[in-house]
Amino acid sequence: MGLFDKIRGEFIDIIEWTDSSNDTMVWRFPRYQNEIKNGAKLTVRESQVAVFVNEGQLADVFQPGMYDLTTQNLPILSTLKGWKFGFNSPFKAEVYFVNTKQFTNQKWGTKNPIMIRDAEFGPLRIRAFGNYAMRITDAAKFLKEVAGTDHEFTTDEVTEQLRNIVVTRFTDAVASSKIPVLDMASNYDEFSKLIQARIKEEFNEYGISITKFLVENISLPPEVEQILDKRASMGIVGNLGAYTQFQTANAIENAANNPNAGGLMGAGVGMGMGFGMGNQMAGMYNQNQFNPHQGTMNQGPQGPPPLPPMTQYFIAVNGQQQGPFDEASFRVMIQSGSVNKDTMVWKNGMAAWTAAGQVGELASLFINTPPPPPAV
């Protein structure tokens, strides 16, 4: 370094900051062994604020613009330094540039599930996440309360504290809203506005303004979501007895058309169904034949009397009534595991709902239920 460069480096003529990052909130102008002289140039760009600090005390704050540093535009610093009639000698002061642009896409989320009490499902654990945007609106307060003397302060150093505030207020908002968990997805916008209003004052305590807050998702644990999917499937099926009969009919048709293993049994079933249909059609034909000897229609043999009405039961699933189901449907549901001895049932004539295992005509169905197949 030449003598001229050494002399020139003793004083700072231009003070400015060009930010090339996306997350720097505060940057301190380097002044190691350098001093600021009278008339030095200060450049504060848009979305910046420059704050002068003298011996740990906040002094003058400069908004965007270009300045010649003199006692006229450094009133607070002049008072602190005791410059009554201006100054000619260089002075030392820390200059902090505060970034006032919007910091967008700041993530928040629940580290652990939040326990709530739902009116329909009882105690539940939920998770939530989203994002928000913020900006520094009070540079002096932000330096004093958050950044301190850090020479370069980024968003990572404050978002953890802000996230804790957000999650706490989100939990309060969800608990006090009394909105059923199945209806929360239709209220994301309301939740976002409510939480933004609640955290506004707390963010202001740090000199930060929250400009946008969004709830992106509220979810249940995977095992609870699987149960809800099953419940939704049952709602789509509707009458489980009619659905069981439909599935049985399809199974018989598939067995009759299966030429592979078990085909003989399928063929037998198909032949039995064919014979049954043939006999039924033959009977209908004989009933409609004309008897020439009597001059009347041949009524044919009379069929058996109608079967007595089958006993049908209703079941209680998740606090809702389903059915009615006959004994055949019950046997299928018991084998599939969707009905057990503790399932509450009711039929016409019963005084109250009773566990299926305590109803005489149903108890025998559980005794005849085969055990689960052995493990392969």
Q: What is the residue-level pLDDT of the chain in tens, covering all 376 positions?
A: 454 444 444 555 788 999 888 899 999 988 655 577 777 888 999 999 999 887 778 888 899 999 887 766 676 666 655 555 455 556 677 889 999 999 999 999 998 888 888 888 888 889 999 999 999 999 999 998 898 888 899 999 999 889 999 999 998 888 888 888 888 888 899 889 999 999 999 999 999 999 999 999 998 888 888 877 777 776 666 666 666 666 676 676 676 666 554 444 444 444 444 444 444 544 544 454 545 445 555 555 566 776 666 778 888 888 888 888 888 887 888 887 788 888 898 888 888 899 888 887 788 777 766 665 666 5
Position 329 scores a pLDDT of 82
Delineate the domains of the chain, giving CATH numbers in brackets.
Answer: 3-99 (no CATH), 103-220 (3.30.479.30), 238-243+311-371 (3.30.1490.40)
Neighbouring residues of 318: CB distance < 8 A, sequence distance ≥ 6:
231
Which residue in the block uniquely carries the two structure tokens 């600021």? 36
Position 321 scores a pLDDT of 86
Give the total residue count for the chain: 376
Position 81 scores a pLDDT of 58
The span from the first CA to the last CA of the chain, in angstroms, equals 84
Position 182 scores a pLDDT of 82
Position 241 scores a pLDDT of 65
Q: Which residues of 24-37 are buried (b: 16+ CB within 10 A; e: fewer)?
A: bbbbbbeeeeeebb
Residue type, 165: I
Position 154 scores a pLDDT of 93
What 3 state SS string does the chain have? CCHHHHHHHCEEEEECCCCCCCCEEEEECCCCCCEEEEEEEEEECCCEEEEEEECCEEEEEECCEEEECCCCCCHHHHHHHCCCCCCCCCECCEEEEEECCCEEEEEEECCCCEEEEECCCEEEEEEEEEEEEEEECCHHHHHHHHHCCCCEEECHHHHHHHHHHHHHHHHHHHHHHCCCHHHHHHHHHHHHHHHHHHHHHHHHCCCEEEEEEEEEEEECCHHHHHHHHHHHHHHHHCCHHHHHHHHHHHHHHHHHCCCCCCHHHHHHHHHHHHHHHHHHHHHHHHHCCEECCCCEECCCCCCCCCCCCCCCEEEEECCEEEEEECHHHHHHHHHHCCCCCCCEEECCCCCCCEEHHHCHHHHHHHHCCCCCCCCC
**Is the entire prediction scored with pTM above 0.85?**
no
